[in-house]
Structure 1
């Protein structure tokens, strides 16, 4: 007759040593990911509060080095022909991107301005000839990643936002290292993607941003997910260990 290990005076817990060494790293990984997301939550919350505080200030005349995403404004004339496109975005059946232009200012360096979405070809794109004042936020440059697509300066098409390189391509090498993204409060922009309705024919292009950037903050949900998986892992291991200890030797 075979008796359970517990009845034979054995040490059934020895059967859990190796599985425990295998299970603990998984638990540590899940807890580490959850803790990291909690840290990211604190960082993102502070960032959103800082952005909201900057954007609540009155717009100032665009300086050489503004705070990232601060409200700024500039007055000048758009330089004829000094335009480029940034990114790729489909609206309806039209392929376009953000229209970048050089704003020449009196007594100040020229400024790179992101006027908003416009199609690469066609469309009624407005190009004011007189003095204009634009208001929005200061967008800093981005770091180029390992898989960032190549730009095409010859055709003035850019997929990576490097304001210094773009401004130099447009003949303004002394422009500050950021772009003023025009913001005009209003209805939401036209949805992107194939099948979405194209911009109305009577609409004035470019189509500027309608608000300041506000990054998502999903890190609380991510943290709860990882911690929930950690709890589930402990429960599953506990049930398995309990069953293993009750098995006959």
Structure 2
């Protein structure tokens, strides 16, 4: 048994460990995403719950307050058909509770259509949207122009001159039977994040199995070390 014959095995072991750990991580992500989707489906099927202080993400809730239309802002960018638009973000002022940033729905960038702005106390039904995380790829906000590209309640609240808002947002859901074409165009359903983790897990475990097969084949076919030839003088 030579070191040359078994060297590929020594090299492959750490690679195999990495592939197996990645596959296991995806299996855990699969279970986490399946639980999330089940929670979203149950929340959508049931009635909205009163909004608490720290609701779970994607819970369907109802919040009561008054819209501060003078401090509305735009969130993100989205093209619908051939029209560029964004989501209308409006603070909901609540008695005895922090302001809540409400995504009321999509509006076109060109303000050539009427946008509904209800006055007085309103009850907003929607789902809880967790705050986004910034990274190196995040577009730069325009606080002076009230244009934001991720939901960062603390930063948005400060730019709008609000007291510290709730650390999450609320995405308004369209009322049943609401007429088509009314702006903002609110979300019709709760989001359904995709769940590709089974495919990822199969890929990583498949690569691990392929690596094992390649190493076994190499070891089995590698020439064995030969001893001294028979009849060779000492």
TM-score by length of 1: 0.76
Structure 1 110/240 Cα, relative in aligned 2: closer, same or farther at 3 Å? closer
The question of 1:38 aligning with 2:27 is answered: yes
Question: Is the 1:114–1:181 Cα contact (8 Å) retained in structure 2?
Answer: yes
SS in 2 for 1:43: helix
1:144 Cα shift? 2.3
Instruction: Give yes or no for the alignment of 1:114 onto 2:103.
Output: yes
Which residue in the other structure is 1:69 paired with? 58
Note the 1:116-131 alignment, pairs <5 A. 116-131=105-120
Q: Aligned pair in 2 of structure 1 residues 106, 234: CA closer, same or farther (>3 Å)?
A: closer
Gaps of 5+ in 1: 1-10, 187-201
The reply on whether 1:98 has 2:74 as its aligned counterpart is: no
Q: How do 1:47-86 residues align onto structure 2 when only pairs under 5 Å count?
A: 47-86=36-75
- Separation in structure 1 between the aligned mates of residue 102 and residue 139 of structure 2, nearest angstrom: 22
Instruction: Tell me, in whole angstroms, the C-alpha distance in 1 between the residues paired with 2:99 and 2:196.
Output: 38
Which residue pairs with 2:219 in the alignment? Answer: 241
- Tell me which residue corresponds to 1:5: none
Shift of 1:125: 4.1
- The answer on whether the counterparts of 2:69 and 2:117 sit within 8 Å (CA) in structure 1 is no
Length-normalised TM-score, structure 2: 0.80
Q: Which residue of 2 aligns with 1:7?
A: none
Greater mean deviation of Cα atoms: 111-120 or 77-86: 77-86
Q: What is the Cα deviation at residue 56 of structure 1?
A: 4.4
Contact 1:85 1:98 in 2 (8 A): yes
Indicate which of 189, 192, 215 corresponds to 1:211: 189
Residue 88 of structure 1 is matched in structure 2 by 77
* Alpha-carbon offset, residue 19 of structure 1: 1.9
Q: Give, in angstroms, the shift of residue 126 of structure 1.
A: 1.8
Question: Structure 1 residues 65 and 245 mapped into 2: Cα distance closer, same or farther (>3 Å)?
Answer: same
Query: Would you identify which runs of 4 or more consecutive aligned residues in structure 1 move more than 6 Å?
Result: 246-249
Report what 2:231 is aligned to: none
